Amino acid sequence: MPRKSNRIPGIEKRGDKWRARAFHSGTEKTKTFATQDEAVRWKREIERALERGEWIDPSLSGITFAEWAKLWLSAKNNISASTKRGYETRLRSHLLPAFGKHKLTAITNNQIGQWIAKSIYAGEGAVVIKQSYGVMRQIMGAAVLDGRLTRNPVLGVKLPRTKSKEKQALTMAQLRRLASECGEYETLILFAGTTGLRWGELVALEGRDVNVLHKTVNVNKAYSEGENYELVLGGTKTHQNRVVPFPKEIIGQVSDLIEKGNASAPLFQMPGGGLMNYRNFMCRIFKPAALRAELPKVSFHSLRHTTASLLISAGTPITTVAGILGHASTQMTLDVYGHLYEDDATKYIDRLGESLFNTGTDKERTNAVQAIGILSK
């Protein structure tokens, strides 16, 4: 009886093993199996995956979440030291304990959802969960771009609702009172409350960054805290340089600060000279001053909110507010401060009404009144 030959294309017997070969668009994948059925099944699965664009090189997909997270973080060269430290904290405290040993391809949408549910049950705050979720979404998204996953399993997972905290902003009178209570740092408080600069940007300012003639300051760098809380000089939070004006009323005070140092010296310094220390300043100067000013809940970041609030109340366009604050987009400004524009609706409708009833002929005004009466029925 003649020997039965293999008639399945791409499947061939090699000794006591079976080799499968899958082809697609000039690409060939091969693998050896103990049985012919296993070889056939693998060949069909691979060809379907190749056809759908879902095939992943096993040498890439076999990596664990912990291994990939380390590679991902080492490639993040466009973030500040404090942002990197935040990522490391989220990984160490939340993500690696839950997913570190899992292969990337084994992590599912449902598994991530269960992790969030367990975190909520364990009493984790919604903000912490949201931050950890954001880091994981970046990590898995980068894995997709690197060819290690076909889709990001984090997408579509529901997050717990968070109640946004009300942004505390000072009135002009409160700002002046707080600045006065800060003594020798009065200029720093007035400057921060009217320019909206972040703490790291203020600390990084040098005398040469100030243009007294044009009443502007060039914001092109910022300090952030590294892994061991050391100060690291880098770019601004949004990696964008900007020119920010400051009020003419404090030109004299700013000029005095420049004269005390040199062009490359920090504009704002500690009493003995050198860079400002945030914790030292808050404990020794800011918090006691806030208590004396009867503003116990105010934070230094409240000065940034104060700038936004005062600008918006003065009718400043949203694009200008975003530019001064250094936001990456006007949408970011609207997301944070959009509620401050809500009262403008009534103001502009009132203006429309005044224009409608105080212009035109008597007949036009009468017709308008009648039209409004009809619409209100």
* Digit-coded pLDDT (tens) for 71-123: 999 998 878 888 888 999 999 999 999 999 999 888 999 999 999 999 988 88
pLDDT averaged over every residue in the chain: 84
185 neighbors 224 (Cβ within 8 angstroms): no
Reported as a single tens digit per residue, the pLDDT across 301-314 is 999 999 999 998 88
Instruction: Say whether pLDDT at 242 is over 80.
Output: yes
The secondary structure of 38-53 as a DSSP string is HHHHHHHHHHHHHHHT
- Answer yes or no: is pLDDT of 367 > 60: no
Q: Residue 43 pLDDT > 70, yes or no? A: yes
pLDDT, residue 1, reads 45
**Ordered structural domains, the chain, with CATH:** 11-55 (no CATH), 65-145 (1.10.150.130), 172-328 (1.10.443.10), 345-375 (no CATH)
Find the angle CA(84)-CA(87)-CA(88) to the nearest 5 degrees.
90
In the sheet with 210-211, reading across from the earlier edge strand, the strands are: 210-211, 216-219, 242-245
- pLDDT by residue (tens digit) across 265-323? 999 998 878 899 999 999 999 999 999 999 999 999 999 999 999 998 888 888 999 99
Residue 375 has pLDDT above 50, yes or no: no
- Nearest-CA neighbor of 129 among 139, 116, 141, 138? 116
pTM of the model: 0.65
User: According to the model, what pLDDT value does residue 150 have?
Assistant: 81
